[in-house]
Amino acid sequence: MTMKPSSPTLWTALALAGLTALGALALHARAADDKKPAAGAPAKAALTVTVTQVQSANLQVRVAANGNIAAWQEASVGTEANGLRLAQVLVNVGDGVRRGQVLATFAPETIQAEVAQIRASVAEAEATLAEARANAQRARDLQASGALSAQQINQYLTAERTAQARLEAQQAMARVQQLRLAQTQVLAPDNGTISARSATVGAVLPAGQELFRMIRQGRLEWRAEVPAVDLAALKAGQPVLVTAPNIAPIKGRVRMVAPTVDPQTRNGLVYVDLPQPGAAKAGMFARGEFEIGAGSAMTLPQSAVLLRDGFSYVLRVGPDSRVMETKVRVGRRSGDRIEIIDGLAADARVVASGGGFLGDGDTVRVVAK
């Protein structure tokens, strides 16, 4: 005989299962509610920061420029002798030389032979002059006695003057040959540094051929290209700090401001003396800053200014401790301070450092310095 379950027992089991499921759902909902932040609770701070404000500071007013380092003056050293063979070259590129130092010599044999020849001609002219003077003196002594005619006396006197002129001409030729002999030695025209050499031993060169090029006195200068709008502020004697790649900064002074401006670039050249160029070499590209005075400026620490996408930003802290990225325009720098030209109110609070770890809208906790 088949037995059927009683209806009360079945409904009791179903009711207990339903109550268990409802209890589980209630517990899950309560746990989810506990995880949600309470309404109106403050957001968690992303970072603890210190804040700063713009401060007035006295900064140097500078004009920045680019340009090349070049020789102050270059001297071209060539040959004055014509058609002589170059026998010796005594210096090379980079050598320092003194005024009057022998740089090269030409073979002097041809000139020495011509000097000997002209010396003989001078001796001959001197003997001829001595004879002519003796004859002229006798003619003067006999002039009153009438032993010689006036024509003969005039001939003797003319012969004396002719011999004198011939001797002077030969002496002048001797000086020319001595000068040519001296020109067989090529001398440095000034103290300086040899910057180029084209002299080759054995070459037979015409007069005027360049043998060496030298930087006079070893002096270098920086030729800065300055925009025309800034030229009026530059004067001779102003200090300049010049920097070139991989060498220490060089102190210089303005020597001269060019009187003209390039019509294509609208830049003018400013010549800056570099008394102690150090490792700088002619031909180097360099940057520099002209110090033209000082003035008051509103500044922030450089750590407070961020560079993003080519623009400068600061993180301004609002009353609700949220940061707002604010674009600013910057200017001069001095030490760890940077000038804020525009974009920030004087009473604004900005993150002093560590702004690179924050984003726009983040909440921060501000602490005193």
The distance from CA 252 to its chain's CA centroid, rounded to whole angstroms, is: 10
211 neighbors 183 (Cβ within 8 angstroms) = no
Do residue 100 and residue 228 come from a single domain? no
Q: Give the separation between CA 29 and CA 35, rounded to whole angstroms.
A: 10
Do residue 194 and residue 253 come from a single domain? no
Q: For a pLDDT cut of 70, what percent of the chain falls above it?
A: 87
> Of 216, 236, 264, which marks where a domain is finished?
216
Is pLDDT above 60 for 26? Answer: no
* Region 273-298 average pLDDT: 88
Of 277, 238, 255, residue with least CA distance to 63: 238
The pLDDT assigned to 32 comes to 46
Do residue 99 and residue 112 come from a single domain? no
**Torsion sign across C-alpha atoms 245, 246, 249, 253:** negative
**Torsion sign across C-alpha atoms 285, 286, 287, 292:** negative
Largest CA distance in the chain: 205
> Of 175, 196, 216, which marks where a domain is finished?
216
Do residue 222 and residue 265 come from a single domain? yes
The pLDDT assigned to 353 comes to 83
> 288 in helix, strand or coil?
strand
Identity of the amino acid at 127: A
The pLDDT assigned to 184 comes to 92
- The angle, 0 to 180 degrees and rounded to 10, between the axes of the packed helices 109-142 and 150-182 is 160
What is the per-residue DSSP string for 199-226? Answer: --TT-EE-TT-EEEEEEETT-EEEEEEE
Q: Give the separation between CA 366 and CA 369, rounded to whole angstroms.
A: 9
Do residue 124 and residue 168 come from a single domain? yes
The pLDDT assigned to 45 comes to 62
- Residue 227: inside a domain: yes
Lowest mean pLDDT of 35-49, 94-108, 167-181, 355-369, name the range. Answer: 35-49
The pLDDT assigned to 256 comes to 94
The pLDDT assigned to 309 comes to 84
Instruction: Write out pLDDT tens, residues 167-199.
Output: 999 999 999 999 999 999 999 999 999 999 999
Do residue 162 and residue 175 come from a single domain? yes
The CATH number given to whatever domain includes residue 250 is 2.40.30.170
Do residue 148 and residue 268 come from a single domain? no
- Residue 158: inside a domain: yes
* Cα–Cα–Cα angle for 299, 300, 302, rounded to 5 degrees: 120
> Of 162, 183, 204, which marks where a domain is finished?
183
Of 250, 95, 89, 253, residue with least CA distance to 185: 89
The CA-atom distances, in angstroms, between 333 and each of 57, 58, 242 are 11, 11, 16
Do residue 209 and residue 83 come from a single domain? yes
Is pLDDT above 70 for 41? Answer: no
Instruction: Write out pLDDT tens, residues 229-249.
Output: 889 889 999 999 999 988 899
Do residue 80 and residue 204 come from a single domain? yes
Do residue 167 and residue 211 come from a single domain? no
* Region 20-39 average pLDDT: 49
Mean pLDDT of the chain: 84
Is this structure's pTM higher than 0.85? no
- Residue 23: inside a domain: no
> 351 in helix, strand or coil?
strand
Number of structural domains the chain divides into: 4
Query: What residues make up the domain containing 81?
Result: 75-105+184-216
Do residue 309 and residue 348 come from a single domain? yes
How would you class 79 by CB atoms within 10 Å of its CB: exposed for 0-12, middle for 13-18, buried for 19 or more?
buried
Joined together, the tokens standing for residue 42 give 């403050």
Instruction: Write out pLDDT tens, residues 111-135.
Output: 999 999 999 999 999 999 999 999 8
DSSP assignment letter at 236: T
- Residue 52: inside a domain: yes
* Region 23-42 average pLDDT: 48
pLDDT band at 2; cut points 50, 70, 90? very low
Do residue 206 and residue 326 come from a single domain? no
The pLDDT assigned to 36 comes to 47
- Residue 40: inside a domain: no
CA R_g for the chain: 48
- Residue 289: inside a domain: no
Sheet containing 96-97: which strands, arranged edge to edge? 74-78, 210-216, 192-197, 96-97
> 359 in helix, strand or coil?
coil
The CATH number given to whatever domain includes residue 309 is 2.40.420.20
Query: Which residues are paired to 210 by β-bridges?
Result: 78
The CA-atom distances, in angstroms, between 194 and each of 69, 165, 274, 277 are 17, 46, 18, 16
The pLDDT assigned to 19 comes to 52
pLDDT band at 13; cut points 50, 70, 90? low
- Residue 330: inside a domain: yes
Is pLDDT above 80 for 1? Answer: no
The CATH number given to whatever domain includes residue 88 is 2.40.50.100
Identity of the amino acid at 210: E
- Residue 155: inside a domain: yes
CB under 8 Å to 50, separation ≥6 — which residues?
351, 352, 353, 366, 367, 368, 369
Helices (H), the chain: 7-35, 109-142, 150-182, 228-231
User: What is the bridge-based pairing of β-strands 185-187 and 74-78?
Assistant: unpaired
